[in-house]
């Protein structure tokens, strides 16, 4: 069993409209945009990162906004719901805020002894705010949500699967422990994690496989401290029979990827070097930052990327 993984690092999804996406996460949810860059493989498309003040691993939601992408079809083999942590007693504030902002799909419920407020983002992607009793992480309060109710980071995420058995074994190998079962959903928790440390497995044997598009999660990333820890995880996965990519430099972290038995794309990402490696911490997410291989296209990209109204 591995002990290097500390919880979630980030979750990356697909969207259609960069400006609407930016407005939802910075204004409606009050997160900080910590990086405005481009897709490594398709630089005509942004890669937008939202999180806490520093973009701490375990707080970062990221998006590829493809302007002409089809709408995703929810199904098995993907992340079903991404869960943010908020302070106990704050859901009334968020319910009123969502009504004011016209947020769709708002539903109050309870799971695993936690009060939740479920909702959808602008492309129909599923989220929940979860009241956490013991989350001591410091939120970003320099934006649209300046009070104690602000989001702390991720609580975790749920995966939709046709058969959860092989993914349960994978999570246990990654250091997760089965903590509880509620309404048929199995919860796994990483001990002594980073706060973003729960994964829920929702088995739906009769649901069709999901189709990737706007509103779909592209991949879910798990955090390790450094490259040495990442290399140890990579070798262990290879030894177990997983097909794992080489290490890829993503500028703000190093990444490896592999497909899980249930079809979900997992990433293992390093906490280093962080989002301040090319931008002062006070000005994160303000300027367009480009990977070195695309810097020669800056003039063209600055005039052709969609406008984001800050």
Q: How far apart are CA 236 and CA 244, in angstroms?
A: 10
Check residue 133 and give its pLDDT. 87
- What's the pLDDT at 43? 97
Q: Would you write out the chain's pLDDT as a tens digit for each of its 310 residues?
A: 899 999 999 999 999 999 999 999 999 999 999 999 999 999 999 999 999 999 999 999 999 999 999 999 999 999 999 999 999 999 999 999 999 999 999 999 999 999 999 999 999 999 999 999 889 999 999 999 999 999 999 999 999 999 999 999 999 999 999 999 998 999 999 999 999 999 999 999 999 999 999 999 999 999 999 999 999 999 999 999 999 999 999 999 999 999 999 999 999 999 999 999 999 999 999 999 999 999 999 999 999 999 999 8
Cα 302 from Cα 222, distance rounded (Å):
32
**CA separation for the pair 151, 195 (Å, rounded):** 12
Q: How far apart are CA 310 and CA 24, in angstroms?
A: 12
**Which strands form 248-249's sheet, in the order they lie side by side?**
32-38, 46-51, 60-65, 8-15, 217-224, 265-273, 253-259, 248-249
Structure tokens at 115: 């009060």
pTM equals 0.97
The two three-digit tokens of residue 247, written as one number: 């290490």
Indicate the burial class of 112 (C-beta count within 10 angstroms; 0-12, 13-18, 19 or more). middle
Report d(CA 252, CA 257) in Å as an integer: 16
């Amino acid at each position: 069993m591995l002990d290097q993984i500390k919880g979630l690092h980030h979750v990356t999804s697909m969207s259609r409209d960069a400006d609407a996406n930016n407005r939802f996460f910075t204004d409606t949810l009050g997160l900080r945009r910590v990086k405005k860059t481009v897709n490594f493989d398709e630089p005509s498309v942004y890669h937008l990162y939202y999180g806490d003040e520093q973009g701490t691993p375990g707080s970062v939601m990221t998006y590829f906004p493809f302007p002409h992408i089809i709408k995703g079809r929810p199904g098995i083999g993907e992340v079903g719901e991404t869960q943010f942590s908020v302070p106990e007693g704050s859901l009334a504030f968020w319910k009123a805020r969502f009504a004011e902002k016209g947020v769709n799909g708002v539903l109050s419920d309870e799971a695993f002894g936690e009060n939740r407020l479920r909702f959808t983002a602008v492309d129909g992607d599923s989220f929940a705010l979860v009241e956490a009793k013991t989350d001591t992480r410091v939120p970003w309060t320099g934006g649209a949500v300046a009070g104690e109710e602000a989001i702390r980071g991720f609580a975790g995420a749920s995966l939709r699967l046709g058969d959860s058995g092989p993914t349960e074994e994978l999570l246990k190998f990654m250091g997760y422990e089965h903590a509880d079962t509620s309404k048929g959903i199995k919860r796994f928790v990483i001990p002594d994690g980073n706060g973003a440390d729960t994964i829920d497995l929702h088995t739906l044997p009769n649901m069709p496989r999901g189709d990737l598009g706007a509103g779909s999660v592209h991949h879910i990333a798990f955090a390790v401290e450094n490259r040495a820890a990442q290399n140890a995880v990579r070798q262990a996965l290879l030894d177990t029979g997983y097909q794992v990519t080489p290490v890829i430099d993503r500028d703000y972290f190093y990444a490896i990827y592999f497909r899980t038995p249930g079809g979900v794309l997992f990433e293992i990402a390093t906490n280093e070097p962080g989002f301040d490696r090319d931008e002062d911490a006070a000005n994160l997410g303000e300027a367009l930052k480009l990977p070195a291989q695309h810097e020669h296209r800056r003039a063209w990209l600055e005039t052709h990327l969609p406008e984001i109204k800050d």
